Amino acid sequence: VNSESHISEKVRSACQQLPNHELAQILLTILTEQRFVGRLPHFTVQHLCNKFSLTPRELSITLLPIAAAYSLAPISHFYVGAVAIGVSGN
C-alpha cells in the first residue's frame, strides 16, 4: 500500500510546485504522516520558519497553493485556499 495514497494528485502537485523544493518535500512528508488534519502545530510552524528563514505570515502565503489544492469547488472549479494563524501559533 502506498503511504501517500490518501494525498491527492492536486496536493502532491501543489507541493512540488513550491519554489523551495526542500520545503515542499518536508511539507509533503508532514501531510502524509498526519493524514492532513487541517492544521500545522505551532512547533512545526516555528521549525519551518526557522529552517527556511520565513515569518509565519510568509509561510502561510507559501502554503496557499496547498490549501487551494484541498478545496472543493464542484460547480465553479474555482479552487481557493485559506490559511489562518491562530493565537496559539497553530
Domain ranges of the chain: 1-90
Residue-wise pLDDT for 24-82, tens only, equals: 999 999 988 887 677 889 999 999 999 999 999 999 999 999 999 888 888 998 988 88
Transcribe 39-83 into DSSP letters: ---HHHHHHHHHHHT--HHHHHHHHHHHHHHH---TTT-------
**Residue 9, helix vs strand vs coil:** helix
One-letter amino acid for residue 24 of the chain: A
Predicted structure pTM score:
0.81
